[in-house]
Structure 1
């Protein structure tokens, strides 16, 4: 059994509107030292696979097929073996 932790954010070239709204709200609350807020999505997926390499392949495939918009988002992930 494997546990994948997947983080999805906008590509650097894409404006993050929610991040900008959060940054503005923090500034209004006197957190003026905040220079950037990056908002994203986080997924944890437990999956069965024959090996770590196979689990990595499954994570990449499912993330690109469903979890991200390839035009605007990017992702990174870790996979670790866990007890069933």
Structure 2
């Protein structure tokens, strides 16, 4: 069965986020005041697996081994059956 996977990757609390800080400063220069700016990377793909549990385990392994650095990143996985 095919599954759509969505992985949201963000820096853990306390980690410096220069990209978010730069964005917040640039917005302030344009006259927009925002608080709590953060950056999140979203990766979407489709995979084939026997069931949703195995798909979740496979995507978690991908995150641990390649998609993020578990030391500095948090990640959230969402698995749904694919319409394709």
TM-score, normalised relative to structure 2 = 0.93
Aligned to 2:77: 77
Written as runs of structure 1 = structure 2, the 5 A alignment for 1:2-81 is 2-32=3-33, 34-81=34-81
Q: Once the two structures are superposed, what CA deviation does each residue of 1:1-30 show, in whole Å capped at 9, x if it has no partner?
A: 000010101001201110000001011111
Deviating beyond 6 angstroms after TM superposition, the runs of 4 or more aligned structure 1 residues are: none
How far the C-alpha of 1:49 sits from its partner, in A, is: 0.5
Unaligned 5+ runs, structure 2: none
> What is the alpha-carbon distance in structure 2 between the residues aligned to residue 67 and residue 35 of structure 1?
28
**TM-score normalised to structure 1 length:** 0.93
Q: Number of matched residues?
A: 83
